[in-house]
Amino acid sequence: MGLGNPGAKFKATRHNVGAQVVETLAKRHAVLLRGPRGIPAICGEARVELKGGTRRLALALPQTFMNDSGIAVAALVSRYGLEDLHRLVIVHDELDLPAGEVRVKLAGGLAGHNGLKSIKAHLHDDGFVRVRVGIGKPPAPSQGINHVLSRPSKAESALLEIAVGTAADAVEAVLEAGPEAAMNRFNARS
């Protein structure tokens, strides 16, 4: 699941890097994302060849606003019959990481991210995997909303473009070897 806000107005904002990662994965694996009836999301599936064999990969973009991401995520978890939340990967922007850094996290705190709060509220659990894409902190805490909803500078855009590819690699690593192996691989990077 790649978190973001729907619509062209938000497409290139910092808050939508999670959606950009899922779009990148969809291109890599030739997945057509479209809306299933009754679920506020677009999604698609692929069979991915990995070292351990073929794996099924479902990709989704909630079509709710970020703060209501849990509505779409809960509906998709139910649709796919996902019982083990360690198999649910949420890709999202992260203010607590410098722009361009990527980290993998299993469960734990939500760092004030309203999209993650909504998901936890709807799933009644925070045991899902997160691929966190750093967007850096705003100059002042009071500028947080403006920071996430604005477009990055040219220099930040270059960093985030690389990070989107790295985050897509991290999702594939979770699929191939599990969250712990992905954390060991991606969290050790500088």
Instruction: Tell me, yes or no, whether 91 lies in a domain.
Output: yes
164 phi, psi to nearest 5 deg: -60, -45
pLDDT, tens digit, 9 for 90 and up, residues 29-85: 999 999 888 899 999 999 988 887 888 999 999 999 999 999 999 999 999 999 999
Whether residue 2 is contained in a domain is answered as no
CATH number of the domain enclosing 50? 3.40.50.1470
Assigned token pair, 32: 């057509």
pLDDT tens digits for range 118-132: 999 999 999 999 999
Q: What is the pLDDT of residue 132?
A: 95
For residue 123, what is the enclosing H or E element?
Answer: helix 114-123
CA distances from 73 to 62, 78, 126, 153 (A): 7, 9, 12, 30
Q: Is residue 3 part of a domain?
A: no
Residues 6+ apart with CB under 8 A from 112: 95
**R_g (Cα) of the chain, nearest Å:** 15
Query: What is the distance between the alpha carbons of residues 70 and 7, in angstroms, rounded to a whole number?
Result: 18
User: For the segment 87-106, what is each residue's pLDDT rounded down to a tens digit?
Assistant: 999 999 998 999 999 999 99
Residue 133 inside a domain? The answer is: yes
* Domain range enclosing 92: 8-186
Is residue 1 included in any domain, yes or no?
no
CB 111 within 8 A of CB 138: no
- The stretch 25-29 carries a mean pLDDT of 96
Q: Is 110 helix (H, G, I), strand (E, B) or coil?
A: coil
- Has 15 been annotated as catalytic? yes
Q: How many separate domains does the chain show? A: 1
Q: Is the dihedral of CA 120, 127, 173, 190 positive or negative?
A: positive
Task: Say which of 15, 92, 113, 147 is annotated catalytic.
Answer: 15
Q: Write down the pLDDT at residue 87.
A: 92
* pTM exceeds 0.75, yes or no: yes
Note whether residue 110 is domain-resident.
yes
52 within domain boundaries: yes
Within a domain: residue 15?
yes
Percent of the chain at pLDDT exceeding 90: 75
